[in-house]
Amino acid sequence: MRHFDFSPLYRSTVGFDRLLSMLDTNTGQETPSYPPYNIERTGENAYRITMAVAGFGEADLTIEAKEHTLSVKGERAQETETGEVLYRGIASRAFERRFQLADHVEVKGASLENGLLHIDLAREIPEAMKPRKIEIGKAGQKQIEGSTH
């Protein structure tokens, strides 16, 4: 397995500390494959994460957003089975999946439908950070009041 050293980039960049730290922490780690998920763009500033959580109910799922991280946890209570299970293909193991959120991305809501958990996200940039158009005025003659020499 390869390991990349990003330390030379720290000297030549300003303001990308968080990005480089994320690259450092994410290299060399295997990504979990359960539960499967999709991330889609539903609008200019709207996104949706869809996770396949068959067998989990609303009470079994926990969604938490904290400091640019969205965490989805699933844990089912052990159920007593009435018959003998010959084959178990539906996973019922506990899971935790984390997503890194960009600045100004907020969770708008979540719903569980047909075994799919939908989490809606939106990027809301504050007015102070949005680009604004600056009018170019004509250069006016300004005189400094006072005595001339």
pLDDT band at 13 (very low <50, low <70, confident <90, very high): very low
pLDDT at residue 94 tops 80? yes
Helix (H, G, I), strand (E, B) or coil at 65: strand
pLDDT band at 142 (very low <50, low <70, confident <90, very high): low
Reference 75, options 85, 89, 87, 63; nearest CA is 63
pLDDT at residue 144 tops 60? no
Residue-range domain boundaries for the chain: 1-30, 34-125
CATH classification for the domain delimited by 34-125, as one of 3.10.110.10, 3.30.379.10, 3.50.50.60, 2.60.40.790: 2.60.40.790
Please write down the HEC assignment for all residues of 42-94. EECCEEEEEEECCCCCHHHEEEEEECCEEEEEECCCCCCCCCCCCCCCCCCCC
Of 57 and 144, the structure prediction assigns the larger pLDDT to 57
